[in-house]
């Protein structure tokens, strides 16, 4: 994946909601973020300063002075919608990428009422549509590298804010990006309280006893099985939920790519299979006939979130506590109908 060329961008947002450069900000106190590697939030004499570190370009930082709540926001990722929804600030959402992938009932309703416009995708979004939305801030994830429209939007008085929650290596580091949206909406105290409640729930979940039954995650795509590496935030959640993930001790923070032969060998004793990517075995085999040859296809408990993927992608980043509650039930073998994200695959 390619990222921005290393140049220092200093973008500060004035009280008129226009982006402007500033030489100095009167910061009071310490960074209120404690888990994130890439987000800092500071109290200033006029509001909050946001400092975002590029994950791969150490010399590249983004700085924003937020002095009043934003009336219109363009949010280009499902996690951004989920965080604003959790703060009950959906009314500030003026532009999204694709309504098909939205879970929030209020955002769907506001879209039907024509209060929200579609931009299609981050890489080639419609600037005309964005201008029609009256958004002064665009929050993007830079999944594909650089944000192609940034220079043009800056000239039009629109500030582009990168969100690197997806690059965090811990569940709480990802969830802590709620503080960015608290600053954007004038709800920093509320976002802090929400995050603290999530933090407490995650610490409580840590006390779950490990299930000795082996668990595997992922599915085969083409010739390889893709699964979370042992140092990823996903493996961290599995571990803290009491799941005995067979690749828990592997190195890396991204994905593993293993051959079918290795999975057949390693998965001989697996009793729990997570995230095969399909809501039913029938659909799984239709798309991937190789799945039925896995030793755990017929004799394990299989769970996935794909019966409602939009809900999972919109809320699971902010709510690792809900995710851990689901997985702890799955690990215990005593699941209820009240799971937040997961459902058994049959």
CATH of the domain at 16: 3.40.50.1980
Summarize the confidence of residues 270-297 as an average pLDDT: 91
- C-alpha distance from residue 221 to each of 257, 291, 331 (Å): 10, 10, 26
- Boundaries of domain holding 288: 214-344
Percent of the chain whose pLDDT exceeds 70: 91
Q: State the virtual CA torsion across 160, 191, 343, 250 in degrees, nearest 10.
A: 70
Q: State the virtual CA torsion across 21, 59, 183, 185 in degrees, nearest 10.
A: 70
Pair (111, 227) in one structural domain: no
Domain edge (last residue) among 169, 201, 233: 201
Residue 291: Cβ within 10 Å count:
18
Confidence band, pLDDT 50/70/90 cuts, at residue 26:
low
Pair (46, 162) in one structural domain: yes
Residue 322's pLDDT is 96
Residue 10: Cβ within 10 Å count:
11
Pair (26, 130) in one structural domain: yes
Residue 146's pLDDT is 67
At residue 293's C-alpha, the angle toward residues 341 and 324, to 5°, is 20
Pair (308, 280) in one structural domain: yes
Domain edge (last residue) among 143, 172, 201: 201
Pair (134, 254) in one structural domain: no
Average pLDDT, whole number, for the chain? 88
CA atoms within 13 A on the CB side of 263: 26
Q: Is residue 229 part of a domain?
A: yes
Pair (169, 286) in one structural domain: no
- Of 197, 212, 209, nearest to 320 by C-alpha is 197
Confidence band, pLDDT 50/70/90 cuts, at residue 12:
very low
Q: Is residue 1 part of a domain?
A: no
Summarize the confidence of residues 1-23 as an average pLDDT: 33
* C-alpha span between 168 and 33 (Å, rounded): 13
Summarize the confidence of residues 64-86 as an average pLDDT: 96
Summarize the confidence of residues 212-220 as an average pLDDT: 93
pLDDT at 15 over 50: no
Pair (74, 188) in one structural domain: yes
Longest Cα separation, the chain: 63
The better pLDDT of the pair 34, 212 is held by: 34
pLDDT at 276 over 90: yes
- Of 41, 79, 222, 237, nearest to 96 by C-alpha is 79
Summarize the confidence of residues 199-212 as an average pLDDT: 83
pLDDT at 21 over 70: no
- C-alpha distance from residue 13 to each of 86, 243, 260, 309 (Å): 24, 45, 51, 35
Pair (118, 262) in one structural domain: no
**Those residues with Cβ within 8 angstroms of residue 123's Cβ, 6 or more apart along the chain or in another chain:** 144, 148
Pair (156, 20) in one structural domain: yes
- Is 282 buried (19+), middle (13-18) or exposed (0-12) by CB count in 10 A? exposed
Quote the pTM value. Answer: 0.86
* C-alpha span between 179 and 86 (Å, rounded): 12
CA 305 to chain centre: 15
Q: Is residue 208 part of a domain?
A: no
pLDDT at 27 over 80: no
Residue written as token pair 């140092």: 231
* C-alpha span between 21 and 328 (Å, rounded): 48
Pair (195, 244) in one structural domain: no
pLDDT tens sequence across 292-339: 888 899 999 999 999 999 999 999 999 999 999 999 999 998 888 889
Q: Is residue 4 part of a domain?
A: no
Summarize the confidence of residues 241-262 as an average pLDDT: 94
pLDDT at 24 over 60: no
- Is 281 buried (19+), middle (13-18) or exposed (0-12) by CB count in 10 A? middle
Residue 290's pLDDT is 79
Summarize the confidence of residues 198-205 as an average pLDDT: 89
Q: Is residue 29 part of a domain?
A: yes
Q: Is residue 315 part of a domain?
A: yes
pLDDT tens sequence across 112-134: 999 999 998 777 788 899 999 99
Q: Are 73 and 139 in contact (CB under 8 A)?
A: yes
Give 53's DSSP letter: E
Residue written as token pair 């509650």: 325
Give 101's DSSP letter: G
Q: Is residue 104 part of a domain?
A: yes
- Of 116, 152, 149, 150, nearest to 135 by C-alpha is 116
Pair (273, 223) in one structural domain: yes
Q: Is residue 209 part of a domain?
A: no
Summarize the confidence of residues 57-62 as an average pLDDT: 92
Q: Report how many domains make up the chain.
A: 2
Domain edge (last residue) among 201, 235, 254: 201
pLDDT at 23 over 60: no
Pair (124, 245) in one structural domain: no
Summarize the confidence of residues 59-63 as an average pLDDT: 93
Summarize the confidence of residues 288-294 as an average pLDDT: 84
- Of 164, 211, 199, nearest to 321 by C-alpha is 199
Two tokens, residue 344: 């058994």
In 154-281, where do the E strands start and end?
159-162, 214-217, 219-221, 224-228, 244-245, 255-259, 270-274
């Amino acid at each position: 994946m390619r990222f921005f060329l290393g140049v220092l961008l200093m973008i500060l947002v004035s009280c008129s909601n226009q982006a402007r450069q500033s030489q100095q900000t009167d910061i009071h106190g310490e960074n209120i973020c404690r888990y994130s590697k890439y987000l800092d939030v500071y109290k200033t004499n006029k509001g909050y300063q946001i400092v975002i570190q590029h994950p791969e370009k150490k010399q590249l930082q983004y700085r924003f002075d937020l002095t009043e709540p934003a009336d219109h926001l363009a949010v280009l990722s499902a996690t951004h919608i989920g965080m604003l929804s959790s703060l009950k600030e959906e009314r500030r959402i003026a532009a999204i990428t694709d309504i098909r992938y939205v879970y929030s009932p209020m955002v769907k309703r506001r879209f039907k009422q024509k209060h929200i416009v579609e931009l299609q995708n981050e890489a080639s979004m419609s600037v005309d549509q964005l201008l029609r939305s009256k958004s002064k801030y665009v929050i993007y994830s830079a999944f594909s590298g650089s944000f192609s429209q940034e220079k043009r939007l800056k000239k039009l008085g629109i500030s582009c804010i990168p969100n690197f929650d997806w690059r965090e290596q811990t569940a709480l580091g990802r969830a802590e990006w709620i503080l960015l949206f608290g600053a954007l909406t004038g709800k920093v105290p509320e976002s802090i309280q929400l995050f603290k409640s999530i933090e407490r729930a995650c610490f409580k979940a840590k006390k779950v006893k490990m299930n000795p039954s082996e668990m595997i995650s992922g599915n085969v795509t083409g010739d390889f099985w893709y699964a979370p590496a042992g140092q990823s935030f996903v493996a961290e959640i599995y571990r803290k939920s009491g799941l005995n993930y067979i690749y828990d001790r592997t190195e890396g923070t991204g994905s593993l790519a293993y051959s079918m032969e290795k999975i057949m060998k390693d998965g001989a004793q697996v009793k729990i299979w997570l995230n095969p990517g399909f809501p039913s075995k029938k659909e799984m085999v239709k798309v991937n006939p190789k799945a039925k040859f896995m030793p755990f296809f017929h004799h394990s408990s299989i769970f996935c979130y794909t019966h409602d993927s939009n809900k999972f992608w919109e809320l699971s980043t902010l709510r690792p506590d809900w995710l851990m509650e689901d997985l702890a039930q799955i690990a215990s073998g005593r699941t209820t109908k009240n799971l937040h994200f997961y459902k058994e695959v049959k």
